[in-house]
């Protein structure tokens, strides 16, 4: 087994073995770009080390051989001689990962070699600057010493010397700093800073290996589902020096603008600086374009290299470079991160440049990015009064007055005000306030905090962890780091996509991408910008290649019409329960209170025409497309007054001896229907079987609506869907009844109706007996919300608000199983049901309703198990269309 690869031996496809950084350094070397010599210790060596607790025996010898070769080639020796070789030791796993060890620069410097380096470079100051950097980085990352100890000392030194920045420190200042840093090391570890160059290198390599198992890295991997056994590679790279004076420097660059996607010169440069200085904000950088004035030769060469890289990687690349006394060196490249808008623009630009084809372009964007583009955002032109920036936890733009508790949020929202709920952090008690608020702002907690998780679940804008804000709940005010005070009732604007918090109202603009989906922007005409055009092109391509059809969950004609504009190919779920609310609630009360058959029929008869009108509207909006109507699902008490409220009312009137007989009856009914756990109680098909006439009324309403639509020249395609079926017997009874009613309507109206009848699969038993259930079903629709609840034994409303944040923080899952389908558990049941259902009935139509239908990752799973369609809320339809296209042209993972 070979544990070490010279940069000249690897290539970009060896990320598993060499990590991302190593593979790309090798690729640049192969391309003949100026990369300092170096080598990469493989992830395999790391794995062997982690397994046995010791470096594999062969590793030391291999490292020596590669170091020798490097020394030969450069005519220098590590940390020795008149011109000592220095190296950097850099971690680099397959996936870039927070929590991994930072890079250590200038390895090889010691009390002896620092003098040699200074003499050789003719710059003593530079040598001591490099040495103090080494002790600082080594102390912090290899020896685990608190970084502030060094930082504070550096600040003191600057203050004492009256130096505005680090470059103003003189050689004597730096020498003193080195002495002080060495003292910090001795005090913290009880040992001297290691003077032996090879020992420095070996300790640094080992520290990189160990950092793979650091707690932050482990947590990150658990959440992101990155296997724990990949290990990290280690790169050893000859140092080049950007801190050798004004003709040297360090920079970062992008081959095109990562924000807009436009081609041009994007980057930052800092003269007389090393490594991270350019991004650390220690001094003001200049823009890359200004490098042309400073060093035209290096600038031209850099632009040339950027073009080479972009053509070679066929994508936007980001790079790190250093100029050492007029010589350009490349230190890193990788395919760069970009904003959602840039992703769409760049993908289509690259197609136009002939670098990639449309299939590849589809893989360069994703549904999460599209979803981001569909949120309204703050007007980029408008100048907001920026207060602070926190973690962008749930996207969107929200404006409202600051309130500091749930009660105030509910009260002011009820009075018609828009509110932003501000808390230190949220907990389940804040739920009402979160529901009432436009957005949520906290000063503690990250992307998996309670506020973040619940807000995302509700689709509410959230910025969390804004540590610069001091939230005073008692005093009901926020104070910023600069002393600005926001009182309760003051207006705030929060941007959940960037994490920015503004004082006052920032104007919100609708998303042009939504305007396009709504049909208000023609992608071919003028007002459309290149973003809309790019989205249009990629959506059209996805539509052409996808196999999955996309339907909408919509209950009203209006929703259905919008869904259709967004590209829905039917309705996959119409929930009939909303049709029992509002003014009609009273009719449900009559139904529940009915004591005789006659009373009951009268109640149902009153509901029938209303239902029929609802269905007509839907069938009309979706003319020619399937409309799945789910018969009543929730327990009846949901439509009745609240038990406690009603009890109080009856108790009060009783005490005044003015008892209303109706209220007393209602109270008895509510008591009778009260359930400990309504989710698992009298609902769905159970309700249909126990309340005679209820389902029949709904079936009749749909059949008559379809007949009316036919008479009006329409093309109605109703599908009757039965919820919460656990066994085929339930379905058989409902089916017999439904068929009889449909036949009656057909006869009465002299038409033939195309109504099919199927079931939801949302209980484990239904999935496990799907072969039998298919005997009585024309279609299955997986109700993955309830299926997830029943498979996990989770009551969604309870668990999301109470312990999901803790579960996410502990890494038990990376995303909520209500957001992304749990492939191993819930998905296994879906697979089983698909297989046995189709075995019984090969033409069984299969779909999914429930929000998973619009979740990017889940869509890929549904494609793969062979469903016919996914159904999701109208707003998520474009995301589902795009992801269904991507799934259809899936490529092997890179």
The nearest distance, CB 277 to ligand ADP, in angstroms, is 8
The catalytic position among 849, 860, 863, 872 is 849
Q: Does 105 bind ligand ADP (CB under 6 A)?
A: yes
Interface segment toward Mg ion; rule CB under 5 A; list 81-89, 618-626, 641-649, 756-764: 756-764
**Which residues ranging from 276 to 335 are in contact with ligand ADP (CB under 6 A)?**
276, 320, 322, 331-332
Q: Both ends of the chain: CA-CA distance in Å?
A: 24
Q: Cα separation of 792 and 798, whole Å?
A: 13
**Rounded Cα distance, 556 and 549, in Å:** 21
Residues 71-90 within binding reach of ligand ADP (CB under 6 A): 88, 90
Q: Please state the closest distance from residue 100 (CB atom) to ligand ADP, in A.
A: 8
Binding partner at 534 among Mg ion, ligand ADP, none, C-beta below 5 to 8 Å by kind: none
Contact range with ligand ADP by CB under 6 A, out of 6-14, 238-246, 677-685, 694-702: 238-246
Q: Are 486 and 501 in contact (CB under 8 A)?
A: no
CB of 86 vs Mg ion, minimal distance in Å: 17
Nearer to Mg ion, 79 or 853 (CB): 853
- Asked if 870 and 572 touch (Cβ cutoff 8 Å), the reply is yes
CA separation for the pair 819, 869 (Å, rounded) = 18
Select from 234-242, 356-364, 415-423, 880-888 the region that touches ligand ADP (CB under 6 A). 234-242
66, 377, 450, 863: the catalytic one is 450
Place of tokens 């490349």: 330
Using the minimum distance from each CB to ligand ADP, give the nearer residue, 329 or 517: 329
| Nearest residue to 735 (alpha-carbon basis) of 707, 776, 678 | 776
Measured from each CB, the residue nearest to Mg ion is: 786
Q: Which does 257 bind (CB under 5 to 8 A by kind): Mg ion, ligand ADP, none?
A: none
Cα gap 427→611, rounded to integer Å? 40
Run of H or E including 29: helix 15-30
β-bridge mates for residue 385, sequence order: 503
Regarding 859 and contact with ligand ADP (CB under 6 A), the answer is: no
Under the binding rule (CB under 5 A), the answer on residue 783 touching Mg ion is: yes
Contact range with ligand ADP by CB under 6 A, out of 67-75, 236-244, 673-681, 846-854: 236-244
Contact of residue 322 among Mg ion, ligand ADP, none (CB under 5-8 Å per partner type): ligand ADP
x/- letters, 327..366, toward Mg ion (CB under 5 A): -----x----------------------------------
450 is catalytic: yes
* Cα–Cα distance measured from residue 327 to residue 335, given in angstroms and rounded to the nearest whole number: 24
Containing 689, the helix (H) or strand (E) segment is: helix 685-690
DSSP 506: P
CB of 38 to ligand ADP, least distance (A): 7
Closer residue to ligand ADP (CB): 23 or 848: 23
Least Å from the CB of residue 88 to ligand ADP? 3
User: Is residue 318 part of the contact set for Mg ion (CB under 5 A)?
Assistant: no
Interatomic CA distance for residues 339 and 407, integer angstroms: 37
Examine residue 33 and tell whether it contacts ligand ADP (CB under 6 A): no
C-alpha of 574 from chain center: 28
> Do the beta carbons of residue 28 and residue 40 sit within 8 Å?
no
761: helix, strand or coil: strand
Q: Which is nearer to ligand ADP, 275 or 557 (CB)?
A: 275
Minimum CB distance to Mg ion, residue 55 (Å): 25
Dihedral angle, C-alpha 727, 731, 734, 735, nearest 10 °: -160
Return d(Cα 136, Cα 494) in angstroms, integer.
38
**d(Cα 90, Cα 208) in Å, to the nearest integer?**
8
36 binds ligand ADP (CB under 6 A): yes
Count of residues interacting with ligand ADP (CB under 6 A): 15
Active site residue 849: yes
Nearer to ligand ADP, 36 or 396 (CB): 36
Sequence-ordered list of residues with C-beta below 8 angstroms from that of 799, at least 6 positions apart, any chain: none
Residue 340 near residue 370, CB atoms below 8 Å = yes
581: closest CA among 619, 620, 611, 616? 611
- The entry of Mg ion, ligand ADP, none near residue 786 (CB within 5 to 8 angstroms by kind) is Mg ion
- Judged by CB under 6 A, which of 103, 611, 769, 781 binds ligand ADP? 103
In 3D space, the residue among 561, 534, 558 whose CA is nearest the CA of residue 882 turns out to be 534
Q: Which does 423 bind (CB under 5 to 8 A by kind): ligand ADP, Mg ion, none?
A: none
Give how far the C-alpha of residue 568 lies from the chain's centroid of Cα atoms, to the nearest Å.
24
Question: Could you say whether residue 338 binds ligand ADP (CB under 6 A)?
Answer: no
- Rounded to an integer, what distance in angstroms lies between the CA atom of residue 736 and that of residue 750? 21
- CB of 351 vs ligand ADP, minimal distance in Å: 30
Q: Which residues of the chain form contacts with ligand ADP (CB under 6 A)?
A: 36, 88, 90, 103, 105, 237-240, 275-276, 320, 322, 331-332
Q: Which residues of the chain form contacts with Mg ion (CB under 5 A)?
A: 320, 332, 762, 783, 786
Catalytic residues: 450, 849
């Amino acid at each position: 087994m070979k544990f070490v690869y010279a940069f000249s031996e690897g290539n970009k496809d060896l990320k598993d073995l060499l990590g991302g950084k190593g593979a790309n350094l090798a690729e640049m070397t192969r391309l003949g770009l100026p990369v300092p010599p170096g080598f990469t210790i493989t992830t395999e060596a790391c794995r062997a080390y982690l397994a046995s607790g010791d470096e594999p025996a062969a590793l030391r010898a291999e490292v020596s051989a590669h170091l020798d070769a490097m020394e030969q080639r450069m005519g220098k020796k590590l940390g020795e001689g008149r011109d000592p070789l220095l190296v950097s030791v850099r971690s680099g796993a397959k996936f870039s990962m927070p929590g991994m060890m930072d890079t250590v620069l200038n390895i090889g410097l010691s009390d002896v070699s620092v003098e040699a380096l200074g003499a050789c470079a003719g710059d003593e100051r530079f040598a001591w600057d490099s040495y103090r950097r080494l002790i600082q980085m080594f102390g912090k990352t290899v020896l685990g010493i608190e970084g502030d100890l060094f930082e504070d000392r550096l600040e003191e030194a600057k203050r004492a010397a009256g130096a505005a920045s680090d470059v103003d420190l003189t050689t004597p200042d730096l020498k003193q700093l080195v002495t002080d840093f060495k003292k910090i090391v001795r005090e913290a570890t009880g040992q001297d800073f290691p003077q032996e160059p090879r020992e420095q290198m070996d300790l640094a390599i080992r520290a990189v290996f160990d950092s793979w198992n650091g707690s932050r890295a482990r947590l990150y991997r658990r959440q992101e589902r990155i296997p724990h056994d990949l290990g990290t590679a280690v790169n050893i790279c000859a140092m080049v020096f950007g801190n050798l004076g004004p003709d040297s420097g360090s920079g970062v660059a992008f081959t095109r603008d990562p924000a807009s996607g436009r081609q041009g010169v994007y980057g930052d440069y800092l003269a007389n600086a090393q490594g991270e200085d350019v991004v650390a904000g220690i001094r003001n950088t200049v823009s890359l374009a200004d490098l042309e004035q400073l060093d035209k030769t290096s600038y031209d060469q850099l632009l040339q290299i950027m073009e080479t890289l972009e053509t070679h990687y066929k994508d936007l690349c980001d790079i790190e470079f250093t100029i050492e006394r007029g010589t350009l060196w490349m230190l890193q490249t990788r395919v760069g991160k970009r904003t959602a808008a840039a992703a769409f623009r760049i993908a289509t630009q690259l197609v136009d440049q002939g670098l990639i084809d449309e299939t590849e372009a589809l893989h360069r964007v994703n549904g999460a990015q599209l979803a981001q583009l569909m949120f309204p955002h703050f007007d980029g032109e408008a100048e907001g009064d920026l207060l602070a920036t926190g973690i962008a936890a749930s996207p969107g733009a929200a404006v409202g007055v600051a309130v500091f508790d749930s009660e105030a949020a509910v009260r002011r929202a009820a009075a018609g005000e828009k509110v932003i709920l501000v808390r230190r952090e949220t907990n389940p008690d804040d739920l009402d306030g979160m529901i009432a608020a436009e957005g949520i702002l906290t000063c503690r907690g990250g992307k998996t905090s309670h506020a973040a998780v619940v807000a995302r679940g509700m689709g509410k804008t959230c910025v969390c962890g804004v540590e610069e804000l001091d939230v005073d709940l008692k005093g009901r005010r926020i104070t910023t780091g600069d002393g600005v005070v926001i009182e309760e009732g003051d207006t705030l604007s929060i941007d959940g996509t960037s994490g920015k918090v503004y004082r006052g109202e920032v104007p919100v603009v609708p998303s042009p991408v939504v305007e396009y989906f709504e049909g208000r922007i023609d992608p071919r005409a003028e007002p459309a910008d290149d973003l809309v055009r790019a989205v249009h092109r990629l959506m059209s391509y996805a539509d052409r290649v996808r196999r999955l059809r996309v339907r909408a969950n919509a209950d009203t004609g209006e929703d259905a019409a919008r869904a259709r504009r967004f590209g829905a190919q039917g309705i996959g779920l119409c929930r009939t329960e909303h049709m029992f609310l509002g003014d009609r609630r009273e009719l449900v009360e009559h139904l529940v209170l009915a004591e005789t058959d006659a009373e009951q029929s009268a109640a149902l008869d009153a509901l029938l025409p209303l239902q029929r009108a609802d269905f007509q509207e839907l069938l009309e909006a979706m003319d020619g497309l399937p409309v799945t109507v789910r018969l009543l699902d929730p327990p009846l008490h949901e439509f009745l007054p609240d038990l406690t409220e009603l009890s109080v009312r009856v108790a009060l009137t009783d005490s005044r001896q003015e008892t209303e007989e109706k209220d007393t009856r209602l109270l008895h009914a509510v008591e009778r229907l009260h359930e400990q756990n309504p989710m698992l109680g009298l609902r769905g098909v159970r309700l249909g079987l126990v309340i005679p006439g209820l389902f029949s009324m709904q079936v009749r309403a749909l059949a008559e609506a379809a007949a009316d639509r036919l008479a009006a020249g329409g093309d109605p395609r109703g599908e009757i869907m039965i919820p919460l079926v656990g066994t085929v017997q339930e379905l058989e009874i409902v089916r017999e009844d439904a068929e009889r009613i449909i036949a009656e309507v057909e006869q009465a109206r002299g038409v033939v109706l195309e109504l099919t009848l199927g079931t939801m699969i949302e209980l484990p038993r239904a999935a496990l007996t799907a072969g039998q259930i298919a005997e009585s079903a024309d279609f299955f629709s997986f109700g993955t919300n309830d299926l997830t609840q029943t498979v996990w034994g989770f009551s969604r409303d309870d668990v999301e608000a109470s312990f999901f944040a803790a579960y996410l923080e502990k890494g038990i899952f990376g995303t909520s199983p209500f957001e992304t389908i749990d492939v191993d558990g819930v998905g296994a049941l879906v697979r089983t049901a698909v297989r046995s259902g189709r075995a019984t009935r090969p033409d069984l139509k299969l779909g999914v309703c429930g929000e998973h239908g619009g979740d990017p990752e889940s869509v890929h799973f549904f494609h793969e198990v062979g469903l016919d369609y996914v159904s999701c809320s109208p707003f998520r339809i474009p995301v589902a269309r795009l992801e269904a296209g991507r799934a259809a042209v899936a490529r092997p993972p890179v």
